[in-house]
Structures are given as C-alpha cells and as structure tokens.
Amino acid sequence: MSDIKAECPAVQTLDIQNNGNGFNVSNKNPITLLSLIQDRTSINPISQSELCQLLGYADNRRVRLHVQELRRAGIKILSTCDKTRGGYWVSDDPIELDNFTAHFRGRAMSTLKTLGKMRGVPDGQLSFDDLRAG
C-alpha cells in the first residue's frame, strides 16, 4: 500500500503515535481512524462498532463523519453493509472501487429521487436548481 500521508495533504501535519498496538486510542482524529482501516481488506474489514470501541466513541456518527472527511481528501475507503463481514477497508483494486462506486451512486440517486418527489418534480426531471432551498 502506498504512503497515505504522502498522498493526502489533509493528514500530512497530523502526528500518528504508536502505543505498541499500532494506534493511539487517546488521539481521536481522522488519521487514527485511518490507521485502523488502512491495513484491512474486503475479506477482513473493520466494523463501525469495532471502530467505535477502539476510538472510544459513544456512537457511529463520528466514525461516518471521519470516513467522509478522509474520502473527500481522496483516500479510497470502501465499505460494505454485509451482515456477516461488513465494515471499512482501504483499497486500490479497480474492481472493488467500481463495485463500491456503483453502490454509492445508487444510494446518491435514491436520495436525489426522494428529494425530487418531495419537491414535486417528475421522475427523471430533477435538476440541481430544484434542490435549492426556498
């Protein structure tokens, strides 16, 4: 795997401290979350509940927000909701990325369709102008 800190300017100034377990559980910033995810694979993802436990979070909202921040910084954090082995991992595999992109796109399109219905816009006719408040 490539060096995440070199690829992501958003995390270059953050300090990763190793407490003997490979991560610092007292440091609750996105790079700590990344250090827990980056060595996982689609076969061995880390679950939201495990991340919450390791990071000391009361719920998974902070995990989702940190994952979103890292994704927006260009880190390829993939995920699945599979009940038997769901969770997060980092991958450069183009097939895994394509599968994740298709799933993520489907969720985005579903959200847009819902907003369109709430605005009274016919299916297939929604534009970003329709999504403006007011």
Q: What is the pLDDT of residue 1?
A: 41
Among the listed residues 115, 37, 24, the one whose alpha carbon sits nearest the alpha carbon of residue 48 = 37
Domain boundaries, the chain: 4-92, 105-134
Beta strands in the chain (DSSP E): 77-80, 87-90
Q: What is the pLDDT of residue 29?
A: 53
Q: Are 113 and 126 in contact (CB under 8 A)?
A: yes
Q: Are 66 and 77 in contact (CB under 8 A)?
A: no
Q: What is the pLDDT along the chain (134 residues), one digit of tens a residue?
A: 445 554 444 344 344 444 454 433 344 455 588 889 989 999 999 999 999 998 888 888 999 999 999 999 899 999 998 777 789 999 999 999 999 999 999 998 898 888 888 888 888 787 777 777 66
Q: What is the pLDDT of residue 13?
A: 38
φ, ψ for residue 102 (rounded to 5)?
-65, -45
pTM (2 d.p.): 0.69
